[in-house]
Amino acid sequence: MEDRGAFGFLTVVDSPTHGLFGGYLLVDPLGRPLEFHCTAPVKVSRAQQILYGPTLHAHLHGDRIGAALVAEATVTPVVVLTDVEPMLTVRSRLGQPLALVRPCDPLDQPVDTAGFTIGAARVSPHPGDQGDEAFLRERLAEFGATVDLREPFERIRAAIDEAQRH
């Protein structure tokens, strides 16, 4: 059952020594943590890099790391946000809208017309969710009035950083 108040934040951290870590943080409307899931590091061989070519990131982020993370969550968020574009391929594994968050200067003119700005974040819905833009805009505007949409990603990175030291 969908938790009307939860929001999901999905990202990948690239560690030069260990590989790729995935992190998925689910928070309540006040930004407080409900669940956190993180993957063991994933290393890709040189042969895989060559043979997958430009399809590697999308497959790795979305089909492997992202899929593993969203499968573990017991809280179903209203929307999932990611700040990593290749992660958008996880959309097929989700029952909720997915959007890409990027930092922006509110004074700059937006480059993409399919999207909207909340605070200092530019939100671009997945191409398959652009029909839900009004809904996303409303829910994220309410949430974004309290929580900077870029901030939870910093927490995930800090947690993964700590996990590497542990």
Partner 1 sequence: MPGDAEVTVRSIRAGDFALPTATCLPAVHPGIDPPPVLRLPLATHWPAVTRIELRLDRPKVGSFRFASPASAPGAGGAAAGCPAAPPPGARPRRPPRTGESPPEDRRVRVTPPRDVVKLSEKFFYLLQPDLETTLQAERLEFPRPPFPFQLEGMAFLVPRHAAVLADEMGLGKSMQAISSIRLLVRSGQARRVLVVCPKGLVSNWARELGEWAPELVVAVVEGDQERRRWQWSLPDVPVKLVNYEVLVRDRDLVAELGLEFDLLVLDEAQRIKNRGSHTSAAVRSVPRLRSWALTGTPVENSPDDLVGLFEFVAPGQIDRSMTPRTMGAAVADHILRRTKDRVLKDMPPRLNRDERIELTAEQRETYRLAEEEGVLRLAGLGQEATIRHVFELVLRLKQICNFDTATGESAKLDRLAAELEEVQASGRKALVFSQWTETLRRLRESLGRFGALEYHGGMSTTARDEVIRRFRHDAGHSVLLLSYGAGAVGLNLQFAQYVFLFDRWWNPAIEDQAINRAHRIGAAGAVTVTRFLATDTIEERIDEVLRGKRDLSDAILSQAGTTVAGGLTAEDLFALFKLAPPRRAAA
Say if residues 60 and 44 touch (Cβ distance below 8 Å): yes
When binding is defined by CB under 8 A, the residue of 39, 82, 96, 124 that contacts partner 1 is 39
Residue 74 makes contact with partner 1 by CB under 8 A: yes
CA distance 88 to 66: 9
Residue 57 vs 102, nearer CB to partner 1: 57
CA distance 47 to 25: 32
State both tokens at 37: 């899931």
When binding is defined by CB under 8 A, the residue of 81, 140, 147, 149 that contacts partner 1 is 147
Residue 115 vs 140, nearer CB to partner 1: 140
Q: Whose CA is closest to 18, among 38, 4, 37?
A: 38
CA distance 140 to 27: 13
- Which residues sit at the interface with partner 1, rule CB under 8 A? 22, 25, 27-28, 30-42, 44-45, 47-48, 51-52, 59-60, 63-65, 67-69, 71-72, 74, 146-148, 151-152, 154-156, 158-159, 161-163, 165-166
